[in-house]
């Protein structure tokens, strides 16, 4: 089977199907994970300034110095981390792909918490590696230490982590992160930690795993300007951490895209340098939207599992979620995604549906009204 055939059946097909359904039926699309408003105006101004100011040629391979410096500073000031190196990428997605291709040999095993973001499975497959899922089960989606240990085989090379997690909205707590860190140290695993929702935490706190003992030297931390700052279309991401891990990622990135988005890299530096109060205001706005959609789901008789982070909420619809989602646009004009597409073990979340709440309040209000028709 070719690599393309291996990844063709992954969850993305349902996104295409659902987006087409949304277009055809005029349904409100709560399937797609991007905001319907722009991020801060000052950051857009920084992009315009860079475009007009002649920042329109290739960036250096590691990224423009202003953004690299902003990432170093961000890691230091928010988390007390002091990464050895930083690489700017085309979104977190390119960092994930480059890291897996640069750090895994064919036949290696990658331990990954499932449900997982769909690019993980594709990139593990492109690297010729095998995924070993650790299943998080509703309603709590807690990490079971037994399941974690059982997933770590003799060929395990890397653990791919995502907290705050898409699609569950889980923010892993310190005890869970300590168990993961202990397993990484014991089995000498590299940890690739996808933290793109780092500033979208409504309950509890985001703890970068690189801050735990023994982890800074074995962790590559990934983030981007897409989610936390509402610029998903810019595709400006970065990774930071131990020099050898960043170097391996950079060696692959060089031959994927080399560099890109120069003016937007300058603007992303402005985003990372926003005052904390502005970052918190973006988060608080999304918290209000979370609460609004959760009330709507509750009122419609769909039981929301209130998320601590990200901009996704899962609801237990009590019936087969794939059939439910296929019928939902015609039943009430809403598009959503069955959570099982993010699992290898599709039975683990057979009745869960993922809804995105990164939409304007009036859109969420209209969605809630439509959902109420299901009662």
What residues line the site for ligand PLP (CB under 6 A)?
33, 91-93, 117, 162, 166, 194, 196, 224, 226, 232, 235, 237
> Cα–Cα distance between 310 and 331 in angstroms, integer?
27
Q: How far is the CB of 222 from ligand PLP (least distance, A)?
A: 8
- Can you spell out the DSSP letters for 300-343? TT-EEE--SBTTEEEEE-SS-HHHHHHHHHHHHSEE-EEGGGG-
CA distances (Å), 49 to each of 43, 46, 264, 322, in order?
10, 5, 10, 46
Of 200 and 368, which has the nearer Cβ to ligand PLP?
200
DSSP H or E stretch at residue 291:
helix 276-299
Under DSSP, is residue 105 helix (H, G, I), strand (E, B) or coil? coil
Q: How far is the CB of 79 from ligand PLP (least distance, A)?
A: 18
Q: How far is the CB of 353 from ligand PLP (least distance, A)?
A: 17
Tokens matching residue 311 = 């901009």
DSSP H or E stretch at residue 354:
strand 352-356
Residue pointed to by tokens 């699309």: 29
Under DSSP, is residue 29 helix (H, G, I), strand (E, B) or coil? strand
Write phi, then psi, for 221 (nearest 5 degrees): -100, 130
Of 264 and 293, which has the nearer Cβ to ligand PLP?
264
Of 221 and 370, which has the nearer Cβ to ligand PLP?
221
Of 85 and 94, which has the nearer Cβ to ligand PLP?
94
- 8 Å CB contact between 118 and 160: no
Contacts of 133 (CB under 8 A, 6+ apart): 111, 112, 113, 114, 116, 151, 343, 344, 345
Q: How far is the CB of 162 from ligand PLP (least distance, A)?
A: 5
Q: How far is the CB of 178 from ligand PLP (least distance, A)?
A: 22
Give the chain's radius of gyration (CA, Å): 20
Of 196 and 279, which has the nearer Cβ to ligand PLP?
196
- 8 Å CB contact between 161 and 192: yes
Of 35 and 296, which has the nearer Cβ to ligand PLP?
35
Q: How far is the CB of 373 from ligand PLP (least distance, A)?
A: 29
Residue with the closest Cβ to ligand PLP? 91
Of 97 and 184, which has the nearer Cβ to ligand PLP?
97
Q: How far is the CB of 301 from ligand PLP (least distance, A)?
A: 28
- Can you spell out the DSSP letters for 130-189? EEEEEE--TTT-PPPHHHHHHH--TTEEEEEEESSPTTT-----HHHHHHHHHHHHHTT-
Of 32 and 173, which has the nearer Cβ to ligand PLP?
32
- Can you spell out the DSSP letters for 70-82? HHHHHHHHHH---
Q: How far is the CB of 264 from ligand PLP (least distance, A)?
A: 12
Of 72 and 231, which has the nearer Cβ to ligand PLP?
231
Q: How far is the CB of 138 from ligand PLP (least distance, A)?
A: 18
For residue 107, the 8-state DSSP code is T
């Amino acid at each position: 089977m070719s690599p393309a055939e291996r990844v063709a059946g992954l969850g993305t097909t349902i996104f295409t199907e659902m987006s087409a359904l949304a277009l055809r039926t005029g349904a409100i699309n709560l399937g797609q994970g991007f905001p319907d408003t722009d991020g801060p105006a000052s950051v857009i101004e920084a992009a315009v300034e860079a475009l007009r100011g002649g920042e329109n040629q290739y960036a250096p391979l590691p990224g423009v110095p202003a953004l690299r410096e902003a990432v170093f500073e961000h890691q230091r000031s928010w988390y007390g981390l002091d990464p050895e190196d930083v690489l700017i990428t085309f979104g977190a997605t390119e960092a994930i792909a480059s890291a897996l291709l640069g750090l895994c040999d064919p036949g290696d095993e990658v331990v990954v918490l499932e449900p997982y973001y769909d690019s993980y499975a594709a990139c593990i497959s492109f690297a010729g590696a095998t995924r070993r899922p650790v299943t998080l089960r509703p309603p709590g989606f807690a990490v079971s230490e037994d399941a974690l240990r059982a997933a770590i085989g003799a060929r395990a090379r890397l653990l791919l982590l995502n907290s705050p997690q898409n699609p569950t909205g889980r923010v892993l707590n310190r005890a869970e992160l300590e168990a993961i860190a202990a397993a990484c140290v014991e089995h000498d695993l590299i940890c690739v930690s996808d933290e793109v929702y780092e500033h979208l935490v409504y309950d509890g706190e985001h703890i970068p795993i690189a801050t735990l003992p023994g982890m800074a030297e074995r962790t590559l931390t990934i983030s981007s300007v897409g989610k936390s700052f509402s610029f998903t279309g810019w595709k400006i991401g970065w990774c930071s951490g131990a020099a050898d891990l960043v170097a391996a990622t950079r060696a692959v990135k060089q031959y994927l895209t080399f560099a890109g988005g120069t003016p937007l890299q300058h603007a992303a530096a402005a985003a990372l340098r926003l005052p904390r109060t502005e970052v918190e205001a973006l988060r608080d706005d999304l918290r209000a939207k979370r609460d609004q959609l959760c009330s709507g789901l509750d009122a419609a008789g769909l039981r929301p599992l209130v998320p601590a982070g990200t901009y996704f909420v899962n609801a237990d619809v009590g019936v087969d979620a794939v059939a439910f989602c296929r019928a939902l646009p015609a039943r009430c004009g809403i598009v959503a995604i069955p959570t099982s597409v993010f699992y290898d073990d599709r039975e683990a979340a057979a009745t869960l549906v993922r809804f995105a709440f990164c939409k304007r309040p009036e859109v969420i209000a209209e969605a809630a009204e439509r959902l109420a028709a299901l009662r």
